[in-house]
A and B are shown apart, each in its own frame.
Chain A
Protein backbone atom coordinates (compact mmCIF):
# COMPACT_ATOMS: atom_id res chain seq x y z
CA UNK A 1 0.00 0.00 0.00
CA UNK A 2 1.33 3.39 -0.99
CA UNK A 3 -1.31 4.73 1.35
CA UNK A 4 -2.92 6.85 -1.33
CA UNK A 5 -6.62 7.58 -1.40
CA UNK A 6 -8.39 6.50 -4.55
CA UNK A 7 -10.42 9.06 -6.46
CA UNK A 8 -12.65 8.35 -9.48
CA UNK A 9 -10.25 10.41 -11.64
CA UNK A 10 -7.22 8.35 -10.63
CA UNK A 11 -9.13 5.13 -11.21
CA UNK A 12 -10.27 6.26 -14.66
CA UNK A 13 -6.66 7.10 -15.50
CA UNK A 14 -5.57 3.63 -14.46
CA UNK A 15 -8.39 2.06 -16.48
CA UNK A 16 -7.30 3.96 -19.59
CA UNK A 17 -4.24 1.69 -19.63
CA UNK A 18 -6.38 -1.47 -19.82
CA UNK A 19 -6.82 -2.61 -23.41
CA UNK A 20 -9.31 -4.94 -24.98
CA UNK A 21 -7.28 -8.13 -25.53
CA UNK A 22 -8.93 -8.69 -28.90
CA UNK A 23 -8.51 -5.10 -30.12
CA UNK A 24 -5.30 -3.96 -28.42
CA UNK A 25 -5.41 -0.45 -29.92
CA UNK A 26 -8.49 0.41 -27.89
CA UNK A 27 -8.73 0.85 -24.14
CA UNK A 28 -11.80 -0.25 -22.25
CA UNK A 29 -12.60 3.46 -21.83
CA UNK A 30 -12.42 3.96 -25.63
CA UNK A 31 -14.81 1.04 -26.07
CA UNK A 32 -17.31 2.35 -23.54
CA UNK A 33 -17.11 -0.84 -21.47
CA UNK A 34 -16.53 1.07 -18.21
CA UNK A 35 -19.93 2.38 -17.12
CA UNK A 36 -19.29 3.75 -13.67
CA UNK A 37 -16.59 4.27 -11.07
CA UNK A 38 -17.49 4.84 -7.44
CA UNK A 39 -15.39 4.95 -4.30
CA UNK A 40 -16.95 3.31 -1.26
CA UNK A 41 -14.96 3.25 1.99
CA UNK A 42 -11.76 3.82 0.03
CA UNK A 43 -12.50 0.83 -2.20
CA UNK A 44 -13.04 1.49 -5.90
CA UNK A 45 -16.19 -0.06 -7.32
CA UNK A 46 -16.03 -0.35 -11.10
CA UNK A 47 -19.05 -1.26 -13.23
CA UNK A 48 -18.35 -2.76 -16.63
CA UNK A 49 -20.71 -3.98 -19.33
CA UNK A 50 -20.03 -6.72 -21.89
CA UNK A 51 -19.95 -5.85 -25.57
CA UNK A 52 -21.44 -9.26 -26.41
CA UNK A 53 -23.06 -11.50 -23.79
CA UNK A 54 -20.71 -14.36 -24.55
CA UNK A 55 -17.61 -12.19 -24.97
CA UNK A 56 -14.74 -14.39 -23.70
CA UNK A 57 -12.58 -11.28 -23.23
CA UNK A 58 -14.66 -10.12 -20.25
CA UNK A 59 -12.88 -12.38 -17.78
CA UNK A 60 -9.46 -11.23 -19.05
CA UNK A 61 -10.58 -7.60 -18.89
CA UNK A 62 -11.73 -8.06 -15.30
CA UNK A 63 -8.35 -9.58 -14.35
CA UNK A 64 -6.51 -6.73 -16.07
CA UNK A 65 -8.61 -4.15 -14.26
CA UNK A 66 -7.62 -5.73 -10.93
CA UNK A 67 -3.98 -5.67 -12.01
CA UNK A 68 -4.15 -2.01 -13.09
CA UNK A 69 -5.71 -1.01 -9.77
CA UNK A 70 -3.08 -3.02 -7.86
CA UNK A 71 -0.38 -1.08 -9.72
CA UNK A 72 -1.92 2.08 -8.26
CA UNK A 73 -1.08 0.70 -4.85
CA UNK A 74 -4.64 -0.35 -4.03
CA UNK A 75 -5.29 -3.88 -2.82
CA UNK A 76 -9.05 -4.03 -2.96
CA UNK A 77 -11.33 -3.42 -5.90
CA UNK A 78 -14.87 -4.47 -6.69
CA UNK A 79 -15.64 -5.17 -10.36
CA UNK A 80 -19.33 -5.44 -11.16
CA UNK A 81 -20.94 -6.48 -14.44
CA UNK A 82 -24.04 -4.54 -15.46
CA UNK A 83 -26.30 -5.29 -18.44
CA UNK A 84 -28.56 -2.23 -18.56
CA UNK A 85 -28.44 -0.09 -20.55
CA UNK A 86 -27.11 -2.56 -23.14
CA UNK A 87 -23.75 -1.74 -24.71
CA UNK A 88 -23.90 -0.14 -28.12
CA UNK A 89 -21.25 0.62 -30.72
CA UNK A 90 -22.45 4.26 -30.51
CA UNK A 91 -20.40 4.47 -27.29
CA UNK A 92 -17.16 4.10 -29.24
CA UNK A 93 -15.86 7.65 -29.56
CA UNK A 94 -14.77 9.41 -32.76
CA UNK A 95 -11.10 9.25 -31.79
CA UNK A 96 -11.40 5.55 -31.03
CA UNK A 97 -13.02 4.96 -34.42
CA UNK A 98 -10.00 6.55 -36.07
CA UNK A 99 -7.72 4.24 -34.08
CA UNK A 100 -9.74 1.26 -35.27
CA UNK A 101 -9.46 2.35 -38.88
CA UNK A 102 -5.70 2.85 -38.57
CA UNK A 103 -5.50 -0.66 -37.11
CA UNK A 104 -7.24 -2.05 -40.21
CA UNK A 105 -10.73 -2.57 -38.78
CA UNK A 106 -13.59 -0.65 -40.38
CA UNK A 107 -15.33 1.22 -37.54
CA UNK A 108 -19.05 0.70 -36.91
CA UNK A 109 -21.46 2.92 -38.77
CA UNK A 110 -23.71 5.04 -36.58
CA UNK A 111 -26.97 3.49 -35.31
CA UNK A 112 -27.84 0.15 -33.79
CA UNK A 113 -29.43 -2.89 -35.39
CA UNK A 114 -33.03 -2.34 -36.31
CA UNK A 115 -35.48 -3.74 -38.81
CA UNK A 116 -33.09 -2.85 -41.64
CA UNK A 117 -30.40 -5.04 -40.04
CA UNK A 118 -32.93 -7.82 -39.92
CA UNK A 119 -34.41 -7.57 -43.38
CA UNK A 120 -32.42 -5.06 -45.43
CA UNK A 121 -29.20 -5.42 -47.31
CA UNK A 122 -25.92 -4.85 -45.46
CA UNK A 123 -24.64 -1.30 -45.16
CA UNK A 124 -21.95 0.05 -47.48
CA UNK A 125 -18.75 -0.11 -45.44
CA UNK A 126 -15.67 1.82 -46.53
CA UNK A 127 -12.41 -0.12 -46.84
CA UNK A 128 -10.07 0.87 -43.99
CA UNK A 129 -7.04 0.53 -46.32
CA UNK A 130 -7.99 2.40 -49.48
CA UNK A 131 -11.27 4.07 -48.40
CA UNK A 132 -13.12 2.59 -51.38
CA UNK A 133 -16.81 2.03 -50.73
CA UNK A 134 -16.91 -0.76 -53.32
CA UNK A 135 -16.86 -3.52 -50.70
CA UNK A 136 -18.84 -6.70 -50.06
CA UNK A 137 -19.74 -8.69 -46.98
CA UNK A 138 -18.27 -12.19 -46.92
CA UNK A 139 -19.76 -13.19 -43.59
CA UNK A 140 -21.76 -11.49 -40.85
CA UNK A 141 -19.64 -13.37 -38.34
CA UNK A 142 -15.92 -12.74 -38.18
CA UNK A 143 -12.88 -13.61 -36.11
CA UNK A 144 -14.52 -12.34 -32.89
CA UNK A 145 -18.14 -11.86 -31.82
CA UNK A 146 -18.04 -8.12 -32.54
CA UNK A 147 -16.77 -8.31 -36.12
CA UNK A 148 -18.06 -9.16 -39.59
CA UNK A 149 -15.83 -10.16 -42.49
CA UNK A 150 -15.70 -7.94 -45.59
CA UNK A 151 -13.70 -7.76 -48.80
CA UNK A 152 -12.68 -4.67 -50.76
CA UNK A 153 -13.34 -4.98 -54.49
CA UNK A 154 -10.93 -2.13 -55.27
CA UNK A 155 -7.75 -3.19 -53.43
CA UNK A 156 -8.89 -6.85 -53.12
CA UNK A 157 -7.96 -6.99 -49.43
CA UNK A 158 -10.23 -8.66 -46.89
CA UNK A 159 -10.92 -6.69 -43.71
CA UNK A 160 -12.83 -6.84 -40.45
CA UNK A 161 -15.83 -4.61 -39.86
CA UNK A 162 -16.78 -3.75 -36.28
CA UNK A 163 -20.49 -4.40 -36.67
CA UNK A 164 -23.21 -2.24 -35.19
CA UNK A 165 -24.85 -3.30 -31.99
Chain B
Protein backbone atom coordinates (compact mmCIF):
# COMPACT_ATOMS: atom_id res chain seq x y z
CA UNK B 1 0.00 0.00 0.00
CA UNK B 2 2.47 2.62 1.09
CA UNK B 3 4.49 4.23 -1.65
CA UNK B 4 6.78 7.19 -1.15
CA UNK B 5 3.98 9.70 -1.63
CA UNK B 6 1.35 8.20 0.66
CA UNK B 7 0.46 10.38 3.66
CA UNK B 8 1.18 7.48 6.02
CA UNK B 9 4.73 7.34 4.74
CA UNK B 10 5.20 11.07 5.37
CA UNK B 11 3.99 10.63 8.94
CA UNK B 12 6.25 7.60 9.43
CA UNK B 13 9.30 9.54 8.22
CA UNK B 14 8.39 12.55 10.34
CA UNK B 15 8.11 10.38 13.46
CA UNK B 16 11.49 8.79 12.71
CA UNK B 17 13.07 12.24 12.42
CA UNK B 18 11.73 13.35 15.78
CA UNK B 19 12.30 9.98 17.46
CA UNK B 20 15.82 9.49 16.10
CA UNK B 21 16.86 12.94 17.31
CA UNK B 22 15.71 12.07 20.84
CA UNK B 23 17.30 8.60 20.70
CA UNK B 24 20.69 9.71 19.38
CA UNK B 25 20.96 12.68 21.75
CA UNK B 26 19.91 10.42 24.61
CA UNK B 27 22.77 8.07 23.75
CA UNK B 28 25.27 10.94 23.60
CA UNK B 29 24.23 12.22 27.03
CA UNK B 30 24.37 8.70 28.47
CA UNK B 31 28.05 8.63 27.45
CA UNK B 32 28.60 11.13 30.27
CA UNK B 33 27.38 8.61 32.84
CA UNK B 34 30.17 8.27 35.41
CA UNK B 35 32.22 10.98 33.66
CA UNK B 36 30.39 14.17 34.68
CA UNK B 37 32.55 17.03 35.99
CA UNK B 38 30.61 16.96 39.27
CA UNK B 39 28.16 14.42 40.67
CA UNK B 40 25.15 16.74 40.26
CA UNK B 41 25.88 17.21 36.57
CA UNK B 42 26.45 13.51 36.04
CA UNK B 43 22.95 13.00 37.45
CA UNK B 44 21.49 15.93 35.49
CA UNK B 45 22.79 14.70 32.12
CA UNK B 46 21.61 11.14 32.70
CA UNK B 47 18.20 12.46 33.85
CA UNK B 48 17.87 14.41 30.62
CA UNK B 49 19.04 11.32 28.74
CA UNK B 50 16.26 9.34 30.39
CA UNK B 51 13.61 11.91 29.40
CA UNK B 52 14.90 11.70 25.83
CA UNK B 53 14.74 7.91 25.74
CA UNK B 54 11.14 8.27 26.95
CA UNK B 55 10.45 10.61 24.02
CA UNK B 56 12.13 8.18 21.62
CA UNK B 57 10.03 5.25 22.88
CA UNK B 58 6.77 7.12 22.36
CA UNK B 59 7.75 8.39 18.91
CA UNK B 60 9.29 5.19 17.57
CA UNK B 61 6.46 3.16 19.11
CA UNK B 62 3.98 5.32 17.22
CA UNK B 63 6.13 5.12 14.06
CA UNK B 64 5.98 1.34 14.37
CA UNK B 65 2.16 1.41 14.48
CA UNK B 66 1.96 3.89 11.59
CA UNK B 67 4.23 1.74 9.46
CA UNK B 68 2.24 -1.38 10.37
CA UNK B 69 4.82 -3.84 9.11
CA UNK B 70 5.54 -5.55 12.41
CA UNK B 71 8.78 -3.68 13.11
CA UNK B 72 8.74 -2.85 16.82
CA UNK B 73 10.17 0.30 18.46
CA UNK B 74 13.23 -1.78 19.35
CA UNK B 75 13.63 -3.02 15.77
CA UNK B 76 13.50 0.58 14.58
CA UNK B 77 16.06 1.69 17.16
CA UNK B 78 18.49 -1.20 16.88
CA UNK B 79 18.16 -2.72 13.44
CA UNK B 80 18.25 0.25 11.09
CA UNK B 81 21.49 1.31 9.46
CA UNK B 82 23.05 4.74 9.44
CA UNK B 83 21.43 5.96 6.21
CA UNK B 84 17.99 4.99 7.51
CA UNK B 85 18.41 7.27 10.55
CA UNK B 86 16.96 10.78 10.26
CA UNK B 87 18.08 12.51 13.45
CA UNK B 88 19.27 16.11 13.11
CA UNK B 89 23.04 16.34 12.53
CA UNK B 90 23.52 18.33 15.73
CA UNK B 91 22.31 15.45 17.92
CA UNK B 92 25.05 13.09 16.75
CA UNK B 93 27.95 15.51 17.30
CA UNK B 94 30.44 14.20 19.88
CA UNK B 95 30.19 15.40 23.48
CA UNK B 96 33.57 17.19 23.42
CA UNK B 97 34.10 19.01 26.69
CA UNK B 98 31.35 20.04 29.10
CA UNK B 99 30.95 23.45 27.39
CA UNK B 100 30.43 21.72 24.06
CA UNK B 101 27.79 19.39 25.51
CA UNK B 102 25.95 22.30 27.14
CA UNK B 103 25.99 24.42 23.96
CA UNK B 104 24.68 21.44 21.95
CA UNK B 105 22.01 20.93 24.61
CA UNK B 106 21.01 24.59 24.58
CA UNK B 107 20.62 24.53 20.79
CA UNK B 108 18.59 21.29 20.75
CA UNK B 109 16.50 21.92 23.89
CA UNK B 110 15.54 25.31 22.49
CA UNK B 111 14.64 23.68 19.14
CA UNK B 112 12.56 21.02 20.92
CA UNK B 113 10.93 23.60 23.17
CA UNK B 114 9.54 25.73 20.34
CA UNK B 115 8.84 22.73 18.10
CA UNK B 116 6.88 20.86 20.79
CA UNK B 117 5.10 24.06 21.77
CA UNK B 118 3.81 24.25 18.18
CA UNK B 119 3.14 20.49 17.95
CA UNK B 120 0.73 20.70 20.91
CA UNK B 121 -1.74 21.99 18.32
CA UNK B 122 -1.03 19.18 15.84
CA UNK B 123 -4.07 17.70 14.08
CA UNK B 124 -2.58 14.30 14.98
CA UNK B 125 -3.84 13.53 18.49
CA UNK B 126 -0.97 11.23 19.43
CA UNK B 127 1.62 13.82 18.41
CA UNK B 128 -0.26 16.58 20.22
CA UNK B 129 -0.43 14.52 23.44
CA UNK B 130 3.24 13.60 23.13
CA UNK B 131 4.22 17.25 22.62
CA UNK B 132 2.20 18.53 25.59
CA UNK B 133 3.76 15.85 27.80
CA UNK B 134 7.35 16.32 26.65
CA UNK B 135 7.26 20.10 26.57
CA UNK B 136 7.06 20.13 30.37
CA UNK B 137 10.27 18.12 30.62
CA UNK B 138 12.07 20.03 27.87
CA UNK B 139 11.34 23.23 29.78
CA UNK B 140 13.65 21.94 32.52
CA UNK B 141 16.29 20.85 29.99
CA UNK B 142 16.29 24.28 28.38
CA UNK B 143 16.56 26.05 31.69
CA UNK B 144 19.45 23.81 32.73
CA UNK B 145 21.50 24.36 29.57
CA UNK B 146 20.68 28.10 29.39
CA UNK B 147 21.97 28.59 32.91
CA UNK B 148 25.14 26.65 32.20
CA UNK B 149 25.96 28.51 28.98
CA UNK B 150 25.42 31.75 30.87
CA UNK B 151 27.68 30.64 33.71
CA UNK B 152 30.40 29.30 31.40
CA UNK B 153 30.29 32.19 28.91
CA UNK B 154 30.32 34.84 31.59
CA UNK B 155 32.69 32.82 33.80
CA UNK B 156 36.48 32.42 33.71
CA UNK B 157 38.63 33.21 30.67
CA UNK B 158 39.04 29.48 30.06
CA UNK B 159 35.35 28.59 30.36
CA UNK B 160 34.48 31.50 28.08
CA UNK B 161 37.03 30.47 25.46
CA UNK B 162 35.71 26.89 25.44
CA UNK B 163 32.12 28.08 25.14
CA UNK B 164 32.94 30.44 22.26
CA UNK B 165 34.74 27.59 20.52
CA UNK B 166 31.77 25.23 21.06
CA UNK B 167 29.32 27.78 19.61
CA UNK B 168 31.54 28.30 16.59
CA UNK B 169 31.99 24.58 15.98
CA UNK B 170 28.35 23.61 16.38
CA UNK B 171 26.75 26.60 14.68
CA UNK B 172 26.98 25.05 11.22
CA UNK B 173 24.57 22.27 12.25
CA UNK B 174 21.82 24.62 13.38
CA UNK B 175 20.18 25.31 10.01
CA UNK B 176 19.65 21.58 9.50
CA UNK B 177 17.23 21.72 12.47
CA UNK B 178 14.78 23.80 10.45
CA UNK B 179 15.19 22.51 6.88
CA UNK B 180 11.87 21.57 5.31
CA UNK B 181 11.36 19.04 2.53
CA UNK B 182 8.19 17.59 0.96
CA UNK B 183 7.46 15.54 4.10
CA UNK B 184 7.38 18.66 6.27
CA UNK B 185 5.39 20.62 3.71
CA UNK B 186 2.78 17.89 3.23
CA UNK B 187 2.33 17.53 6.98
CA UNK B 188 2.17 21.32 7.36
CA UNK B 189 -0.69 21.37 4.86
CA UNK B 190 -2.41 18.58 6.81
CA UNK B 191 -2.08 20.59 10.04
CA UNK B 192 0.11 17.88 11.59
CA UNK B 193 3.50 19.63 11.56
CA UNK B 194 4.34 23.31 12.09
CA UNK B 195 6.04 25.75 9.75
CA UNK B 196 9.69 25.39 10.75
CA UNK B 197 10.40 28.97 9.68
CA UNK B 198 8.23 30.17 12.56
CA UNK B 199 9.96 27.77 14.97
CA UNK B 200 13.31 29.06 13.69
CA UNK B 201 12.39 32.68 14.41
CA UNK B 202 11.62 31.89 18.03
CA UNK B 203 14.74 29.75 18.31
CA UNK B 204 16.96 32.53 16.99
CA UNK B 205 15.45 35.03 19.38
CA UNK B 206 16.03 32.74 22.37
CA UNK B 207 19.58 31.74 21.36
CA UNK B 208 20.63 35.29 20.50
CA UNK B 209 19.35 36.38 23.91
CA UNK B 210 21.23 33.70 25.84
CA UNK B 211 24.47 34.21 23.87
CA UNK B 212 24.39 37.98 24.30
CA UNK B 213 23.80 37.64 28.03
CA UNK B 214 26.69 35.18 28.15
CA UNK B 215 28.93 37.66 26.30
CA UNK B 216 29.39 35.09 23.53
CA UNK B 217 29.45 36.50 19.99
CA UNK B 218 26.64 35.24 17.73
CA UNK B 219 28.18 33.70 14.56
CA UNK B 220 27.63 35.67 11.34
CA UNK B 221 24.41 35.00 9.43
CA UNK B 222 26.35 34.04 6.29
CA UNK B 223 28.32 31.28 8.07
CA UNK B 224 28.57 28.00 6.11
CA UNK B 225 25.86 25.52 7.04
CA UNK B 226 25.75 21.72 6.84
CA UNK B 227 22.55 19.89 5.91
CA UNK B 228 21.36 16.42 4.96
CA UNK B 229 19.59 14.82 7.93
CA UNK B 230 16.24 14.84 6.08
CA UNK B 231 17.79 12.48 3.52
CA UNK B 232 19.61 10.34 6.07
CA UNK B 233 22.99 11.89 5.19
CA UNK B 234 25.10 12.16 8.31
CA UNK B 235 28.44 13.32 9.63
CA UNK B 236 31.08 10.63 10.22
CA UNK B 237 30.13 10.44 13.91
CA UNK B 238 26.77 8.67 13.66
CA UNK B 239 28.13 5.35 12.41
CA UNK B 240 30.37 4.93 15.45
CA UNK B 241 27.54 5.89 17.79
CA UNK B 242 25.19 3.33 16.22
CA UNK B 243 27.87 0.64 16.33
CA UNK B 244 28.04 1.03 20.08
CA UNK B 245 24.31 1.48 20.60
CA UNK B 246 23.31 -1.47 18.43
CA UNK B 247 26.03 -4.03 19.10
CA UNK B 248 24.16 -5.98 21.77
CA UNK B 249 20.85 -6.57 19.97
CA UNK B 250 22.71 -7.26 16.73
CA UNK B 251 25.12 -9.73 18.35
CA UNK B 252 22.45 -11.48 20.40
CA UNK B 253 19.23 -11.13 18.39
CA UNK B 254 16.16 -11.22 20.60
CA UNK B 255 18.18 -10.87 23.79
CA UNK B 256 16.18 -9.68 26.78
CA UNK B 257 17.03 -9.07 30.42
Residues of A within 8 A of B (CB): 50, 52-56, 82-88, 112-113, 117-119, 138-143, 145, 149, 163, 165
Contacts and interface: CB of A to CB of B under 8 A. Distances in A.
B143 A118 contact: yes
B50 A145 contact: yes
Interface in B43-77: 43-44, 47-48, 50-55, 57-58
Contact of B130 (A55, A83, A117): A83
B181 interface: no
Contacts of B133: 50, 53, 83-84, 86-87
B40 A139 contact: yes
Given A140-B144, A142-B43, A145-B47, A53 B128 contact: no
A41 B145 CA distance: 50
Given A84-B132, A118-B143, A53 B47 contact: no
B106 to A, nearest CB: 12
B140 interface: yes
Contact of A84 (B57, B125, B144): B125
The DSSP consensus for interface residues of chain B is helix
A53 B137 CA distance: 8
Given A84-B129, A86-B132, A165-B136, A53 B44 contact: no
Given A52-B54, A138-B40, A113 B128 contact: no
A55 to B, nearest CB: 7
A51 to B, nearest CB: 10
A55 B128 CA distance: 20
Nearest to A165: B136
Interface string B112-150: 000000000000011011101110110110111010000
A56 B53 CA distance: 10
Given A83-B130, A85-B132, A52 B137 contact: yes
30 contacts: A50-B133, A52-B51, A52-B137, A53-B54, A53-B133, A53-B137, A54-B53, A82-B129, A83-B129, A83-B132, A84-B129, A84-B132, A85-B132, A87-B133, A112-B136, A113-B139, A113-B140, A117-B143, A118-B142, A138-B40, A139-B40, A139-B43, A140-B44, A140-B140, A140-B143, A141-B43, A141-B44, A141-B144, A142-B43, A142-B47
A52 B137 CA distance: 8
Given A84-B132, A143-B43, A145-B47, A53 B55 contact: yes
Determine which residue in A54, A86, A87 has the highest number of CB atoms from chain B within 10 A of its CB, and name it: A54
Contacts of B125: 84
Query: What is the interface of chain A mostly: helix, strand, loop, or mixed?
Result: loop
Contacts of A145: 47, 50-51
Given A85-B132, A143-B43, A165-B136, 11 more contacts: A52-B137, A53-B57, A54-B53, A83-B132, A83-B133, A84-B125, A118-B139, A139-B40, A139-B41, A142-B47, A149-B40
A55 B54 contact: yes
Contacts of B51: 52-54, 145
A84 B119 CA distance: 14
A138 B54 CA distance: 25
Contacts of B57: 53-54
A55 B52 CA distance: 11
A4 B214 CA distance: 66
Contacts of B41: 139
B189 to A, nearest CB: 24
B128 A84 contact: yes
B25 to A, nearest CB: 13
Contacts of B44: 139-141
Contacts of A143: 43
Interface string B16-55: 0000000000000000000000001101100110111111
Indicate the member of A83, A85, A112, A149 with the most B CB atoms within 10 Å: A83
